[in-house]
Chain A
Amino acid sequence: MAYLELHDLRRAFGPVVALDGIQIELDKGEFLSLLGPSGCGKTTALRLVAGFDRPDSGSIVIDGKDITRMSPNRRDMGMVFQAYSLFPNLTAEQNVEFGLRIRKNKRPARRKRVAELLELVGLGHAGKRYPHQLSGGMQQRVALARALAIEPRVLLLDEPLSALDAKVRVQLREEIRRIQTQLGITTLYVTHDQEEALSVSDHVAVMWSGRIEQMGTPSEMYGAPATPFVAEFVGTMNRLQSVVVDGARGEVEHAGTRLTVDTARGRTKGERVLVLVRPELLELEPSANAAAGGENSLAGEVLTHTFLGSITRLKIIGPETDLIADVPTARVDTLPIGLPVVAHVPAAGTRLLSLAEEPTSDGPDPGDR
């Protein structure tokens, strides 16, 4: 039996359905990230687990005990908030000690625990400082220590890094993972940052419109997205709307061009499908060098370069299709802006989804990520 179970949780705010029957099971000591765009219901789910809100239906079970109607102060959940939530009138030490005082722990035990936790988050030297004397990153570390002090049954993290700068964010997320692994604490982490979710979690649940689109390990989410939304939200994906022309040979037709993709084998002729190709799988070469009418190729022209460090992301605009391709930065000089190119779509490594699976609402703009 799972340690934390959310059964068919539903929550609506007037006509807006924030959660539409989500189902989650999490084993003890696991780290699950709820990932999704703003308004997808991930924070609502976390608040229901914390007890700050009540579901319209469904239940929350921890360690076999139904806590759906239990008040938040009796749930033993440690929470780190997006907003800086330290009590401004208390020092870092007193903040960490707060939950222990509520539990009426003895003073020496409290002192020892506070010192241990501040050391654990690397702030042993800053215990006497007030929140306004700490940086944003330090405040969130104290908030983490404070949440851990009560030895919570589940640690809840509501976008704790979103107010921090990029460098501190990366550093702190690694620390959160280290501490979580060290203490073996069951953790539910809410974020809209896919990189954050993929890098720290045991499992990721991608949410959209109040539902869980897919739940799996980070590599499953990236490598085998189950829906077009997940495919687009986790990483960047080229979407080629196609029709199966020969299921036996795995051939589809996209905008008048025949493409052979392994995943189309066995599909019914005439079926409308979506071929999903990661940008790093596309191979680009100047049109002048390419053989005329080369197989599995789409033509276009380089529109933009976006420098991403070791790779550069190229936007290719074609007569029918726009593509995104990642090339090693060292090679980008051979593919200047305005150059006609062909993009080779590999037969292996692409994903194929039936267009019936496409959500009716608009997905997020891939350019935003």
Chain B
Amino acid sequence: MRRRWIAPSAVVWLLVAAAFFLIPLIATLLFSLRSIQTNKCCSGAAYSLIVHDHQFWHTIRLSFLLSLETIVISLLLFVPTVYWVHLKMPRLRPVLGFMALVPFVVPPIILVVGLLNFYKGAPSWFYDKPYGFLATTYVILAFPYMYFALDAGFRSIDLHTLTEASQSLGASWRTTLTRVILPNIRVAAIGGSFLTLAIVMGEFTVASLATFQTFPTYIQFINETQPYEAAALSLLSFGIVWAAMLALLFVGRGRTRPVQVAATR
């Protein structure tokens, strides 16, 4: 058996890349561990202050629930839509693709000013509450991520054959969607969901301009007033994102199966 070896140049590039990502993190970690009183290493005071600040828990809970709401609305809205477009109206795919690019093109600041004006007359339970106005705006912001993830998922399966096979066995449209199609685009839906989670957990412009207190606005507030706590908070939010990514890997692990296409075997 041939012995596997790694080229020295590959090792060098690996170290350079690792340094690029790790040095700022290590620097932030060391900074966050400085004592608030002495400015010297090492103290967990910054972390202690953060985790004992009820605003931290309040804003992180709000942002997390907003993420979940955005994910649920996006999935309910986009899964059937993308399914139907792929199945019955494939000519509309480029139109949907174009529409999905709009949130990328329109800067969030313009979007939020437009939406604030648009919803000005809306009832207060919607306009004044984060779970109304903010969630709606976040669905728009997450549209491209959710759409392109789902689009890739739907393209990876033989949608027509699976749908027809399911229907010929007596399944209704709803049963077909929930028991045949969804399990087979699960990884794409999870991918889109975690991208949405990452966006909502980090969205600052809309929340700030609409004067809602979310996790990113809390980070911004801490950043302006308490430097060590801000570094600790940065690492904590980094850890949350990593936890989300690992959850994605864990949930999706071992579930993907080769896509079946005729004449490949």
From A86, A135, A150, B170 is in contact (CB under 8 Å) with: A150
Judged by a CB distance under 8 angstroms, whether B117 is at the interface is no
Check A73–B164 contact: CB distance below 8 A. Answer: no
Query: B155-187, CB under 8 A of A: which get 1 and which 0?
Result: 001100110111111111001000010011010
B260 touching A84 by the CB < 8 A rule? Answer: yes
A79 to B160, CA, bound (A): 14
Measured CA separation A85–B172 after assembly (Å): 17
Distance between B194 CB and nearest chain A CB, rounded to angstroms: 20
A143: nearest residue on chain B (CB-CB)?
B165
A121 to chain B, nearest CB (A): 16
Task: Give chain B residues whose Cβ lies under 8 Å from the Cβ of A75.
Answer: 168
Is A136 in contact with chain B by the CB < 8 A criterion?
A: yes
Closest Cβ of chain A to B171, distance in Å, is 5
B12 interfacial by beta-carbon distance below 8 Å: no
* B169 contacts A102, C-beta separation under 8 Å: yes
**Of the residues B157, B164, B262, B263, contact of A79 by C-beta under 8 Å:** B164
Chain B interface category by residue count: 20 to 34
Q: Tell whether, in the assembled complex, residue B164 and residue A102 are in contact, meaning their CB atoms are under 8 Å apart.
A: no
Tell me whether A163 is interfacial, beta carbon within 8 Å. yes
Closest residue of chain B to A86 (Cβ to Cβ) is B260
A216 at the interface (CB under 8 A from B): no
Residues in B whose Cβ lies below 8 Å from that of A131: 257, 260
Q: Which residue of chain B lies nearest to A81 when distances are taken between CB atoms in the complex?
A: B161
Q: Is the Cβ of B184 less than 8 Å from the Cβ of A50? A: no
Within 8 A of B (CB), among A97-144: 98-99, 102-103, 130-132, 135-136, 139, 143
**A88 contact from B166, B260, B262, Cβ within 8 A:** B260
Measured CB to CB, the nearest residue on chain A to B170 is A102
With beta carbons under 8 angstroms apart, the residue of A51, A52, A78, A83 that contacts B158 is A83
A132 engages B164 (CB within 8 Å): no
Taken together as a complex, chains A and B put the C-alpha atoms of A86 and B162 apart, in Å, by 7
A88 and B157 contact, CB distance less than 8 A:
yes
Partner of B180, one of A51, A73, A87, A136: A87
Asked if B3 lies at the interface with its beta carbon under 8 angstroms from chain A, I say no
B162, B184, B259, B263: the one contacting A85 at CB < 8 Å is B162
Q: Does A54 contact B (CB under 8 A)?
A: no
Complex CA distance for A150 and B167, rounded to whole angstroms: 12
- Contact of A89 with B184 in the complex, beta carbons under 8 Å: yes
Contact for B257 among A85, A130, A162, CB less than 8 A: A130
User: What is the minimal beta-carbon distance from B38 to any residue of chain A, in angstroms?
Assistant: 58
Alpha-carbon gap, A357 to B117, bound state (A): 74
Q: Which of B172, B184, B186, B265 has the most CB of A within 10 A?
A: B265
Least Cβ–Cβ distance between A366 and chain B, in angstroms: 25
Residues 198-209 of chain A, each 1 if its beta carbon lies under 8 Å from chain B, else 0: 000000000000
Q: Which of B157, B167, B258 contacts A73 (CB 8 A)?
A: B167
Contact of B168 among A50, A87, A163 (CB under 8 A): A50
Nearest CB in chain B to that of A164: its residue:
B265
The answer, yes or no, to whether A147 is at the interface (CB within 8 Å) is yes
A184 and B183 CA atoms in complex are apart in Å by 35
Say yes or no: A72 contacts B257, CB within 8 Å: no
Decide: A163 near B161, CB < 8 A? Known: A87-B184, A146-B169.
no
Given contacts A87-B184, A103-B170, contact A72 B262 (CB under 8 A): no
Decide if A88 touches B257 in the complex (CB within 8 Å).
yes
Residues from chain A with a CB closer than 8 A to the CB of B95 are: none
Mark out the residues of chain B between 227 and 265 whose CB falls within 8 Å of any chain A CB in the assembled complex.
255, 257-265
Determine the distance from Cα of A76 to Cα of B171 in the docked complex, in whole angstroms.
Answer: 11
Assuming the A-B contacts A85-B158, A88-B157, are A79 and B183 also in contact, with contact meaning beta carbons closer than 8 angstroms in the complex? no
Residue-wise, chain A 62-77 has the 8 Å CB interface mask toward B (1 for contact) of 0000000001111111
- What are the residues of chain A within 8 A of B171 when measuring CB–CB? 73, 98, 102
A83 partner residues in chain B, CB cutoff 8 A: 158, 161, 260-262
CB–CB B162/A98 < 8 A: no
A77 near B260 with CB under 8 A, answer no
Residue of A nearest to B263 (CB): A163
| Distance in Å: Cβ of A135 to nearest Cβ of chain B | 6
Contact of B161 (CB < 8 Å), options: A73, A85, A103, A136: A85
**Are B183 and A89 in touch, CB under 8 angstroms?**
yes
The docked-state distance in angstroms from the alpha carbon of A86 to that of B264 is 14
Q: Are B175 and A79 in contact (CB under 8 A)?
A: no
B residues in contact with A102, CB < 8 Å? 169-171, 175
- What's the least CB distance linking A258 to chain B, in Å? 50
A81 in contact with B164 (CB, 8 Å):
yes
**B162 lies within 8 A of A87 (CB):** yes
CB within 8 Å for A132 and B169 given contacts A84-B262, A85-B162, A88-B157: no
User: Pick the contact of A163 from B157, B172, B186, B262 — CB < 8 Å?
Assistant: B262
* A residues in contact with B262, CB < 8 Å: 82-84, 162-163
Q: Are A52 and B257 closer than 8 Å at their CB atoms?
A: no
- Chain A residue at smallest Cβ distance from B265: A136
A143 to B263, CA, bound (A): 15
Q: Which 5 A-B pairs have the closest CB atoms?
A: A99-B169, A83-B262, A136-B265, A89-B183, A85-B165
A→B interface (CB under 8 Å): 50-52, 71-79, 81-89, 98-99, 102-103, 130-132, 135-136, 139, 143, 146-147, 150, 156, 162-163
Interchain Cβ contacts under 8 Å between A and B, 9 examples: A50-B168, A72-B168, A73-B168, A78-B168, A79-B165, A84-B158, A87-B165, A147-B168, A150-B170
Instruction: Taking A88-B259, A143-B165 as given, write out 14 further A-B residue pairs in contact, using a Cβ cutoff of 8 Å, ordered by the A residue number.
Output: A71-B167, A73-B167, A74-B170, A78-B169, A79-B165, A81-B164, A87-B162, A89-B255, A102-B170, A130-B257, A132-B260, A135-B265, A162-B262, A163-B264
